[in-house]
Chain A
Amino acid sequence: MRPPPVDLPIMLVDVTVAAGAVTVLDHVTLTIGTGDPTVLIGPNGAGKTTLLRVVMGLVPVSHGLITWSGRESLPPTRRAILFQRPAMLRRSTAGNVRYALAATGVPRAARQNRAAELLADVGLKGLDRRPARRLSGGEQQRLALARALARNPDVLFLDEPTASLDPAATKSIEDTVRAISARGVKVVMSTHDLGQAKRLGGDIVFLHRGRLVETGPTADFFAAPRSDEARRFIDGELLL
């Protein structure tokens, strides 16, 4: 068994994030605990990316309070994030993973083998020596996932991990997410794909215009949305 996660629960109380005059997150109150993946959905600009960056600890809140396991500030040693457009370090594919391993204090002698394992896990076996920036978009996404997993996180945030990937690459990422979640890692991800939300989500957080409109178990949310906005979003209406 994994030791209990040091970051959980993550609690947001009345969190507001403002960028200049624009309110990106508007008085969001939410608790993220252990369990099946939490999936963030909502139209573009709803605040999904900002919420992920806030819970990762990358964006300071303008108002309200966020705590990781009761602490108001906790360095991201046990959290990892896969950005929607991950930056590739100007190194080899394996070099990117070894860098992430070094950053978490894995001894040098162990990095080579561990990097190979992680690359095999995400289906990048044999590409170790390829410069990371020469990989295809889908391969870069998987490398970034391997890099995030190299941190051996208790909580993994994924920002639209399969946007612009083809079905095969999407399935590969979803399989990995399921496997990670089954190992006891808490997954919090955003997606545009309602099918993916149903396939992976333990519970749903529905955002619209920076506000948290509705949250609940996935089955309940899709079968019986309580809010008018969620019902219209599920029905495929264009929420403006």
Chain B
Amino acid sequence: MTGDASALHLVLSGDPELFAIVRLSLLVSLTAVLVAALIGIPFGAFLALTRFPGREAVIVVLNAMMGLPPVVVGLAIYLLLSRSGPLGPLGLLFTPQAMVIAQTVLVAPIIAALSRQTIEDLWVEYRDELAAMNIGPLGRIATLVWDARFSLVTALLAGFGRAAAEVGAIIIVGGNIQGFTRTMTTAIALETSKGDLPLAIGLGIVLISIVIIINTLAWGARRAGERYAG
């Protein structure tokens, strides 16, 4: 049997181990994107609407953090969560929670930086009208985030793409433990090094398919929303 054929067989047969791996991958990455959005969008909006000394520097650093190396983030979170680290007593190392934390750190700067740009562009357009309507600072942020929501989907997708694709951070803090912290990317890395190419290829196909499906759904939702709200 060729590698490709058995990979396809694995995917189509609904292998329970494969299913568990896919499920955990999605759970970790989507949770990380959600948490990162709750941090990144308000922070991006705050940066977009305020002026303070050092703001430009913060923006430059934030933009640079979009390219944080996953292994370095993994190492930093590992040191924080390891038994002798400051957060060691929580016992989170080598758990899915640790993976969520690491991916949140990777994704939040992406969402914050892209949100900042999106919201600032809209702010330039809305500024006079909102001032004339006597809208306070919190109301401004709420209005801008709501009205930019379809554009912000792009920021979330960029964040999800990053989370779903990375292996460096979660393999360090998760440990790639079978049935517990093994995700698609960590499994692909492991199976490839072990020489089990069919499983690695099968997982690769599933991963890419999922990313395409999620992007398609988000794109469709964005188009539908724009048709409604202009």
Among B131, B133, B227, which residue has the most Cβ atoms of chain A within 10 A? B133
- Interface of B (DSSP majority class): helix
CB-based contact A133/B230 at 8 Å? yes
CB-based contact A87/B126 at 8 Å? yes
**Min C-beta distance of B120 to chain A, whole Å:** 15
Which of B122, B128, B134, B229 is close to A131, meaning CB atoms less than 8 Å apart?
B229
Residues of chain A contacted by B132 (CB below 8 angstroms): 56, 58, 76, 80-81, 83
CB-based contact A77/B229 at 8 Å? no
- Interface bits B131-155 vs A (CB < 8 Å: 1, else 0): 1111100010001000110000000
Which A109-157 residues have C-beta < 8 A from chain B? Answer: 131-134, 151
CB-based contact A91/B129 at 8 Å? no
Known contacts A58-B128, A83-B128, A83-B129; A88/B230 CB under 8 A: yes
Which A58-94 residues have C-beta < 8 A from chain B? Answer: 58, 75-77, 80-81, 83, 86-92
What residue in chain B is nearest A85 (Cβ atoms)?
A: B128
Which of B133, B134, B227, B229 is close to A91, meaning CB atoms less than 8 Å apart?
B229
**Min C-beta distance of A134 to chain B, whole Å:** 5
Which of A56, A80, A131 is close to B230, meaning CB atoms less than 8 Å apart?
A131
Residues of chain A contacted by B139 (CB below 8 angstroms): 103
Please report the C-alpha to C-alpha distance between residue A91 and residue B144 in the assembled complex, in whole angstroms: 12
**Min C-beta distance of A101 to chain B, whole Å:** 10
**Min C-beta distance of B170 to chain A, whole Å:** 37
Residues of chain A contacted by B129 (CB below 8 angstroms): 83, 86-87, 89
Among B129, B132, B134, which residue has the most Cβ atoms of chain A within 10 A? B132
B228 at the interface (CB under 8 A from A): yes
Which of B131, B134, B147, B227 is close to A89, meaning CB atoms less than 8 Å apart?
B147
Please report the C-alpha to C-alpha distance between residue A81 and residue B122 in the assembled complex, in whole angstroms: 20
What residue in chain A is nearest B131 (Cβ atoms)?
A: A58
Please report the C-alpha to C-alpha distance between residue A187 and residue B129 in the assembled complex, in whole angstroms: 18
**Min C-beta distance of A53 to chain B, whole Å:** 8
Which A150-209 residues have C-beta < 8 A from chain B? Answer: 151
Which of B125, B135, B147, B148 is close to A103, meaning CB atoms less than 8 Å apart?
B135
A100 at the interface (CB under 8 A from B): yes
CB-based contact A76/B134 at 8 Å? yes
Residues of chain A contacted by B125 (CB below 8 angstroms): 87
CB-based contact B128/A90 at 8 Å? no
**Min C-beta distance of B130 to chain A, whole Å:** 9
**Min C-beta distance of A179 to chain B, whole Å:** 22
Please report the C-alpha to C-alpha distance between residue A99 and residue B128 in the assembled complex, in whole angstroms: 15
Which are the 3 A-B pairs with shortest beta-carbon distances? A131-B230, A133-B230, A90-B147
Please, could you name 23 A-B residue pairs with CB atoms under 8 Å apart, sorted by A?
A58-B128, A58-B131, A75-B134, A77-B134, A80-B132, A81-B132, A86-B129, A87-B125, A88-B230, A91-B147, A92-B228, A92-B229, A92-B230, A95-B229, A99-B133, A100-B133, A103-B133, A103-B134, A103-B139, A131-B227, A131-B229, A131-B230, A151-B133
